[in-house]
């Protein structure tokens, strides 16, 4: 099995990636704690690439990174790459977004997940992106999930992300779609 270093310090993210990549033949490992990568990119894809590339170069291993967030049409794509930094807690981030959107009638939005894989020499050899379109509600609905889940409504399911079972969210979500695409491309990699 080839080692694949996950460019995150978050054990939760490692676990989630392990679940998606269980039969892929790669051995996933957390990046060294002291290795901090600043997310300076202006797009999700740019951030995924820079994280994967820098972790690969620093560790001498293959590396995988993801970057995700919520882009709201009427806010010109905000919070976008700033999704995690839009406030100090999930509640603060949701409150800020709802305030900025106010009574705006156009509530269209999308969740995006970009994933990149880098070779040990820092070269990006695989990139993929998953998108899930939906609408921002006027108030939170549902108790599951995390982050912006309670205000993200998916019309096809007639549910918010926070009202879906984890299995349903995985099958239709931005992250689920990105990993499905990644799994199809992985066998051609090495
Ligand atoms: P990152 O991908 O770890 O940089 O996180 C991006 C941020 O986007 C998270 O902190 C959440 O605020 C938000 N986000 C990404 N994916 C989801 C999701 O599936 N549901 C809710 N919020 C999400």
Task: Please choose from 6, 49, 147, 178 the residue to mutate so as to test ligand 1's pocket, defined by most ligand atoms within 8 A of CB.
Answer: 147
pLDDT band at 13 (very low <50, low <70, confident <90, very high): confident
Mean pLDDT of 63-72: 96
Distance of CA 51 to the CA centre of its chain: 13
- The CATH class for the domain spanning 2-188 reads alpha beta
Indicate if 67 belongs to the active site.
yes
Q: What is the pLDDT of residue 50?
A: 97
What is the CA(107)–ligand 1 centre distance, in A?
19
Q: Is 84 in the pocket of ligand 1 (CB under 6 A)?
A: yes
Q: What is the pLDDT of residue 63?
A: 96
Task: Assess whether pLDDT exceeds 70 at residue 190.
Answer: no
Nearest to 4 by CA among 49, 65, 54: 65
What is the CA(175)–ligand 1 centre distance, in A?
10
Residue-range domain boundaries for the chain? 2-188
Mean pLDDT of 30-53: 94
Place of tokens 């560790």: 59
pLDDT digits (tens, 9 = 90+) for 103-129: 999 999 999 999 999 999 999 999 999
Tokens matching residue 135 = 């609408």
**Burial bucket for residue 174 (CB in 10 Å: 0-12, 13-18, 19+):** buried
For 145, the enclosing helix (H) or strand (E) is none
For the chain, give the percent of residues with pLDDT over 70: 99
Q: Is 79 in the pocket of ligand 1 (CB under 6 A)?
A: no
Q: Is 130 in the pocket of ligand 1 (CB under 6 A)?
A: no
Within 26-80, strands assigned E span 26-30, 62-72
Within the chain, strands assigned E span 2-6, 26-30, 62-72, 108-118, 124-136, 152-154, 159-160
Catalytic residue, candidates 23, 67, 73, 149: 67
Q: Is 176 in the pocket of ligand 1 (CB under 6 A)?
A: no
What is the CA(125)–ligand 1 centre distance, in A?
24
């Amino acid at each position: 099995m080839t080692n694949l270093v996950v460019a995150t310090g978050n054990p939760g993210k490692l676990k989630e990636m392990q679940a998606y990549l269980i039969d892929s033949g790669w051995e996933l490992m957390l990046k060294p704690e002291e290795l901090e990568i600043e997310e300076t990119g202006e797009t999700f894809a740019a951030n995924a690439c820079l994280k994967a590339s820098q972790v690969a170069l620093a560790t001498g291993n293959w590396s995988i990174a993801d970057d995700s967030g919520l882009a709201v049409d009427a806010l010109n794509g905000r919070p976008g790459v700033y999704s995690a930094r839009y406030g100090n807690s999930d509640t603060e981030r949701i409150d800020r977004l709802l305030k900025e959107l106010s009574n705006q009638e156009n509530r269209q939005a999308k969740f995006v997940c970009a994933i990149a894989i880098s070779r040990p020499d820092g070269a990006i050899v695989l990139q993929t992106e998953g998108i899930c379109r939906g609408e921002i509600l006027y108030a939170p609905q549902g108790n599951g999930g995390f982050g912006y889940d309670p205000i993200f409504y998916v019309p096809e399911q007639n549910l918010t992300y926070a009202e879906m079972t984890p299995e349903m969210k995985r099958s239709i979500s931005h992250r689920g779609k990105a990993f499905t695409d990644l799994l199809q491309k992985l066998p051609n990699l090495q």
